[in-house]
Structure 1
């Protein structure tokens, strides 16, 4: 059993820039004295693909091939930030106001790995879900690192987006209304459309 403090929320939404401070603080912590899993987005992608039952085999094959290609590309990536504790899915819906401050919530995917993964995730949410570039830039300026200007960004971006797609694809049977959106996102992968706006699932 765990206990959490209830934080009543105002009507305004948390901005990306307000997530930057607690995320930077998390990434700056020393390694904790307990075992945390290592982040492995590709393993998560493959596990999701194996569990997808609502997509054609050809589509699943396409997703698997894309994962293979991205794994090869990942082996050439040079990280620039030190390993740290990761929130795993930092985004606007996974942060809460705590008075004048902001705190991170939803710790289902906490792990140890490269902070670049968390930063890429936040950028994806800004770009895909209707936030302006200026909104993302305020986050990057506040955090002190713009992941989009790092050479490894395209590879991590594509892997993280593939994970977001495959995670939702394995849940289609439980959320059939998401099928059309998953199809849209996969069509975007086929034409390498990194600017396609996504609908939140």
Structure 2
């Protein structure tokens, strides 16, 4: 049987390139020869002749959310925060209800940004003053339940199991006492949501999940990525030492780590119909969760 073709950002190939061409034409950029960089969430393409990255927001994304992200990144650029910069055009561009943004291309080596290099930018983010924009409240449990309602790739007993885990962890979360001050959080800080710069520094990117919340959520996300994706304990330890606070030594760590992992599983399960080849990895993660295997190595999706 022929495997279904992945749909980057929820678009078929023809529609994606039609949206790309119209958006680029609208801001005077040449879309010929564009190549797809990433497509599991948004459709992210490189205009090689322009050295510009184009992000077509995932099908169904709210225009207002994308516009807020653009306004936030402009503010970050104004205050000198280490972020990947927007390209200098008016944006977002809206094509048939789909929001398109344009970013400066930063060529990358094969190795991702080390976790240690995320520490200082994250600490800076967590201690920034308010930019005066209305951000959503971070809520992993709500995101998990939204994904559970849309999962079609798993049998009913697996969805019930995951839903039961969400119930259990929500009850645990109500008893967690947070240690750090609430503020802006990136929402999904990880090795692939940061980029190397030409002068050897690192900048954060992918601001779709920016929210008001507890910094502990960002810190536990870095720990989960180090542990689950094979970077090793030393990789995380260097991050914690540089940040100046170790989330694994905090009493609420286990609850937050379990919630973060459940969100990663359910989010990817919801997206399987757009990326059919990811099903085996999702099934492996669910089975590992059933077996309470917190050291099972995951593959990047």
TM range (shorter): over 0.9
Corresponding residue for residue 156 of structure 2: 57
Tell me which of the two structures has the higher relative contact order, counting C-alpha pairs closer than 8 angstroms and 6 or more residues apart.
1
- Displaced runs of 4 or more, over 3 A: none
Does residue 143 (structure 1) correspond to residue 243 (structure 2)? The answer is yes
Does residue 162 (structure 1) correspond to residue 262 (structure 2)? The answer is yes
Corresponding residue for residue 113 of structure 2: 14
Corresponding residue for residue 27 of structure 1: 126
Deviation, structure 1 residue 108: 1.1
Structure 1 residues 170 and 11: CA distance shift in structure 2, 3 A? closer
Does residue 86 (structure 1) correspond to residue 185 (structure 2)? The answer is yes
Secondary structure of the 1:142 match is: helix
Which whole-Å CA distance do the structure 1 matches of 2:247 and 2:195 have between them? 23
Deviation, structure 1 residue 163: 0.3
Which of 166, 191, 207 is 1:67 aligned to? 166
Q: Deviations over 1:39-77 (max 9, x none)?
A: 000000000000001111111111111100000000000
Secondary structure of the 2:178 match is: coil
Which whole-Å CA distance do the structure 2 matches of 1:133 and 1:54 have between them? 33
Does residue 41 (structure 1) correspond to residue 131 (structure 2)? The answer is no
Q: Which has the higher helix share?
A: 1
Deviation, structure 1 residue 4: 3.0
Which whole-Å CA distance do the structure 2 matches of 1:120 and 1:109 have between them? 15
Corresponding residue for residue 100 of structure 1: 200
Does residue 112 (structure 1) correspond to residue 217 (structure 2)? The answer is no
Corresponding residue for residue 77 of structure 1: 176
Q: Deviations over 1:83-111 (max 9, x none)?
A: 11111110000001222321100111110
Deviation, structure 1 residue 29: 0.5
- Contiguous gaps of at least 5 residues in structure 2: 1-90, 93-101
Q: TM-score, normalised by structure 1?
A: 0.97
Secondary structure of the 2:223 match is: helix
- Contiguous gaps of at least 5 residues in structure 1: none
Which whole-Å CA distance do the structure 2 matches of 1:91 and 1:171 have between them? 19
Larger Rg: 2
